[in-house]
Amino acid sequence: MTRVIAAIGDLMFRSKVDVAAQALGTEIAYVHDASEIIEQLRMGTPDLILLDLNAAKLHPMDTLTTLRQNGAFEAIPIVAYAGHTQTTLLE
């Protein structure tokens, strides 16, 4: 089974991810902060990390840096996203 760690702040988007995950038979582990990501990584390597760049509690840019600098985690694919209205974040 495919396993995804998802740090998603928006409940509407999270519900869409849930529907897609169920249709694909994908296990989703939702986290709320960087320490929970590390905890999930210790439980096993996911196939993907989905990261909301607007999740303030997560400190997403610091989290990305930490994951990429750790040799054990650097090969895990990460999809990071921001809403199209968050122009300052995209810059």
Band (pLDDT 50/70/90 cuts) for residue 82 is confident
- Cα(17)–Cα(39) distance, rounded to whole angstroms? 21
* β-sheet with 48-52: strand ranges across: 27-30, 3-7, 48-52, 78-81
pLDDT at res. 33? 87
**pTM of the entire predicted model:** 0.85
- Cα(68)–Cα(17) distance, rounded to whole angstroms? 24
pLDDT at res. 22? 95
Q: What one-character DSSP code corresponds to residue 56? A: G
- Cα(67)–Cα(75) distance, rounded to whole angstroms? 9
- Cα(49)–Cα(29) distance, rounded to whole angstroms? 10
Residue 57 has a CB neighbour count (10 Å cut-off) of: 12
pLDDT at res. 34? 87
